[in-house]
Amino acid sequence: MKINNKNIDFVIALVGQPNSGKSTLFNVLADIKVSTSNFSGTSVQVSQTVLSYGGLNLLLVDLPGTYSLNSTFEHERITFDYLLNSKVDLIINVVDVSLLTRSLELTVELTELNKPMIIALNMYDEAISQGISIDENKLSEILGVDVIPTMAIFGKGVKELMDTAINNLRFRKNKASKFLFTSKIERSINEIENEIKRHLNGNSELARFYAIKALENPELLKISINSDVRNKIKTIEKAIVSDRNQDLFEIFSYERHHIAMKLSKQISTFKDTRKKPIKQKIDELLLHPVLGYIFLLLALFLYFFLIFIVGDTVSGLVETPLSKLPELYESLSENQPFLWYSINGAFMGLMGVFGIVLPYFLPLIFLTSIYEETGYTARIAFLLDGLFHKIGLHGKSIVPFILGFGCTVPALYASRIIESKRDRTITGILLTFIPCSARIAVIFALAAAFTGPIWAMVVFAFVLLVVSLSGKALSKVLTKPLGLILEIPNLKLPSIKISLEKTWRKLREFLKEAVLFLLMGSIILGWLEYFHFDVYVNSLFAPILHNLLDLPVELGSTLVFGFLRKELIIVMSTQALGVATLSALPLTVEQVIVFIIFVTLYFPCLATFIVMTKEFGWKTSVFAAVFSITVATISAFLFKIILSI
Amino acid sequence: MEYKLIDAPLGKILKVTGIKAGKDARHRLYALGVHIGDKIIKLSNTKWRPQLIQNLTSDSSKIAIGKGLSEKIFVTESIDEN
């Protein structure tokens, strides 16, 4: 049965802090789905599934984990925007019981939204192992909503949770009790709330929430506030700040912190087990200043070794049958050349997707998910932060960087693990300089034919220098980094099933969103080839390639084919210069080195451009393209000068 | 005696007395449950990498704090509990 938008009875949003087990719960619930569907206009970072339960069709939305509804991080604001601007009939607040007080701070904030809510007290097993016991009935009594203990990873409590959700949806009950701030703050909220009610045209349910946010963080609000209200907020802020010597956002945060602490004390008891849990002992080793790094090397080796081995094997298996496909349309090349170039363009795109990108992409997503689930990714960031700080980034950038040596596309996807937009953008731009396997093939092929392996190593060393210097330069231009503040979550056992499901969802997303653009782009490049666009391209690149770098003008068109697939440069350069083998290219050793430097550093490929535009926006991808071509030109020119001395 | 977090002793119970960082950093620290008045313990003391702390007041969450920021967080030894 296919369910569309119109058949959905209710929308349930899962809201919780990062690592609260929210996505695990989503995956367990998604298992009982009857059909999945995607809805236009929603962010890729919001996972959704439609499930049929208790006779109702429910849209289940897994919102990105957020520590508060007051976040300064863009991806956490998605949750805020969704809760405020989309239809949500019920919130399931996933609370990590092992971090009860901090999790309850978000719960307190969610009650301010005045929407129907139930609580999933998750990770009960973890809490028990830490000696924490919870009185869920008391919490339910205080909050005025249903509270269900769950262990999502084992599927425990999930049925009870869904039954409770259905019960709440059918009978429209249970909006959470309101928590009161201290009297002065409450008076200010009431004052602003009354003003805001006049703006909301009858939607006064959210008036208190808007009033709190107007005082706490007005930048978050998208409703227009007239100058009278704005002046009132300023007056209140001035009075409270001078009285309490704290910013308003700090006052709200401290008050919620105290409410959550009080709540936590009322509902939980702690029994000191005196026994150091095994997980803690393992963690001490993983974070150890010496042993931690030895383990890190092993973990990274295993990660990349598996990705490269699986990628390389699958790539080989896929490319052999795929490479036979051109035989099927070979006959068209003479009679219908335009059609041949179109089909061949599409074929090249297909080879790129199924022969290069996907074989590396799938093991990458699966293993990243496994590492993330265990909590080790945060530990990698912790261990490498000092090193990456030197180029203006944080430790989490290591994962996309090393993956970039395989293929830039999955590396760009992997950059999603970096929360800060600034750091993620710098990482994305720098990734264009990391030689992927196709560029490594070009470097080795040309180096083997002309210069020997030493120059290949010089090129790699130079690339590292370019990455460091560019990182430094970009981090100086962009806003100052926040500085690392990173939760190191408890170590957990990963679930292979959940990681496989995550991989499947990412694959579907990739196929749906990137493949069409890739095929279209490849067909257009085929047409450019058909119309002998190479003449124009050569003259376009002539000022750089010929005049500045002293390379044959014919190599210009190879750069365009290199944009489709970097390894095409090997074939196309021989074709462009009319020779049969690479070693027969009419180039001096110096010219080859200059050409290698340029090819290694100029923008990777069409697939990278498309995925980068999708992930970072067109401004960033255009900037990255211009930046990389500029750096490639300057670097190649420098090499030309040095080699001519 | 008041220390910068980066200079504070390892393994002792410490009380956060001041956070003299920018607005965004304070936002993030509060969101992760670190507030003035909280009791924390330092789990790592290596200066060339982030400082690792565990919050004892609200729960046992571990938080890594970068070197620069560790110089803007001030703590004292919580004598009665050490």
For chain B, list the domains and their CATH numbers.
2-81 (2.30.30.90)
Q: How far is CA A19 from CA A15, A223, A445, in A?
A: 11, 32, 45
Which sign, positive or negative, has the C-alpha torsion B19, B20, B21, B24?
Answer: positive
- The larger pLDDT score, comparing residue A564 to residue A49, is at A49
Distance from CA of B55 to the nearest CA of A (A): 10
The string of pLDDT tens digits covering residues B33-56 is 899 999 999 998 788 888 999 988
pLDDT of residue A3: 46
Q: Which domain holds residue A265?
A: 183-270
CB contact under 8 A, B31 and A71: yes
Write phi, then psi, for A404 (nearest 5 degrees).
Answer: -60, -25
Q: Tell me the CATH number at A210.
A: 1.10.287.1770
Q: State the total domains in chain A.
A: 3
User: Are residues A62 and A47 in contact, defined by beta-carbon separation less than 8 angstroms?
Assistant: yes
Q: Tell me the CATH number at A28.
A: 3.40.50.300
The string of pLDDT tens digits covering residues A512-521 is 766 776 677 7
Same domain, A291 and A264: no
Last residue of a domain, one of A171, A205, A236: A171
The string of pLDDT tens digits covering residues A187-222 is 999 988 888 887 766 667 788 898 898 888 877 776
Same domain, A355 and A263: no
Residue A286 lies in a domain: yes
The average pLDDT across A352-374 equals 78
Say yes or no to pLDDT of A12 above 50: yes
**Which of A226, A245, A248, A223 has its CA nearest to residue A236?**
A248
Around A35, how many Cα atoms within 13 Å sit in the side-chain half-sphere? Answer: 10
Same domain, A246 and A360: no
Q: In what order do the strands lie in the sheet with A147-149?
A: A33-35, A47-53, A56-62, A10-16, A90-96, A117-122, A147-149
User: Are residues A140 and A149 in contact, defined by beta-carbon separation less than 8 angstroms?
Assistant: no
Same domain, A164 and A188: no
CB contact under 8 A, B23 and A68: no
Last residue of a domain, one of A171, A192, A222: A171
Q: What does the block give as tokens for A396?
A: 């989490």
Residue A176 lies in a domain: no
* Alpha helices (H) along A21-135: 22-30, 74-85, 100-111, 124-129
Residue A178 lies in a domain: no
The string of pLDDT tens digits covering residues A223-247 is 666 677 778 888 888 888 888 888 8
Residue A345 lies in a domain: yes
Distance CA A55, CA B58 (A): 41
B5 interfacial to chain A (CB closer than 8 Å): no
pLDDT of residue A2: 45
Q: What does the block give as tokens for A552?
A: 């044959």
Say yes or no to pLDDT of A51 above 80: yes
Same domain, A380 and A505: yes
Distance CA A531, CA A233 (A): 64
Using alpha carbons only, how large is chain B's radius of gyration in Å? 11
The string of pLDDT tens digits covering residues A301-334 is 887 778 778 877 887 888 788 888 888 888 888 8
For B21, the 3-state DSSP assignment is coil
Q: What does the block give as tokens for A103?
A: 């999790």
Q: For residue B54, give the H/E element and its range.
A: strand B51-55
CB contact under 8 A, A99 and B60: yes
Same domain, A590 and A441: yes
pLDDT of residue A186: 92
pLDDT of residue A292: 93
CB contact under 8 A, A257 and B35: yes
**Paired sense of beta strands A10-16 and B39-42, if any:** unpaired
Residue A177 lies in a domain: no
User: What single-letter DSSP state applies at residue A555?
Assistant: H
Residues of B in contact with A260 (CB under 8 A): 58
pLDDT of residue B75: 95
Say yes or no to pLDDT of A421 above 90: no
Same domain, A228 and A301: no
Residue A253 lies in a domain: yes
Which sign, positive or negative, has the C-alpha torsion A268, A251, A16, A73?
Answer: negative
Same domain, A78 and A194: no
CB contact under 8 A, A287 and B69: no
pLDDT of residue A444: 76
Write phi, then psi, for A423 (nearest 5 degrees).
Answer: -65, -35
Last residue of a domain, one of A111, A142, A171: A171
Say yes or no to pLDDT of A557 above 80: no
- The larger pLDDT score, comparing residue A553 to residue A36, is at A553
Same domain, A460 and A532: yes
B 19-78 near A (Cβ less than 8 A):
21-33, 35, 43-44, 46, 48-50, 52, 55, 57-69
Same domain, A206 and A84: no
Distance from CA of A482 to the nearest CA of B (A): 6
Residue A199 lies in a domain: yes
Query: Which among A72, A100, A260 is the nearest to B24, CB-wise?
Result: A72
Distance CA A92, CA A625 (A): 43
User: Are residues A535 and A358 in contact, defined by beta-carbon separation less than 8 angstroms?
Assistant: no
Write phi, then psi, for B64 (nearest 5 degrees).
Answer: -95, 130
- The larger pLDDT score, comparing residue A607 to residue A621, is at A621
Phi-psi sector, A617: left (phi>0), alpha (psi -120 to 50), beta:
left
A129 interfacial to chain B (CB closer than 8 Å): no
pLDDT of residue A44: 40
For B73, the 3-state DSSP assignment is strand
The mean pLDDT of chain A is 82
What is the per-residue burial (b if ≥16 Cβ within 10 Å, else e) of A489-527? bbbbebbeebbebbbebbeeebeeebbebbbebbbebbe
Residues of A in contact with B44 (CB under 8 A): 287, 289
For A351, the 3-state DSSP assignment is helix
Same domain, A429 and A521: yes
The string of pLDDT tens digits covering residues A477-515 is 876 666 788 888 888 888 888 888 878 877 887 777 667
A381 interfacial to chain B (CB closer than 8 Å): yes
Side chain identity at residue A394, one-letter code: H
Same domain, A217 and A138: no
Residue A342 lies in a domain: yes
Name the residue in chain A with its Cα closest to that of B50: A382
CB contact under 8 A, A394 and B30: no
pLDDT of residue A163: 93
Report residue A35's pLDDT band, with 50, 70 and 90 as the boundaries.
Answer: very low
pLDDT of residue A159: 92
A483 interfacial to chain B (CB closer than 8 Å): yes
Which residue of B27, B36, B47, B67 to mutate against A (max A Cβ within 10 Å)?
Answer: B27
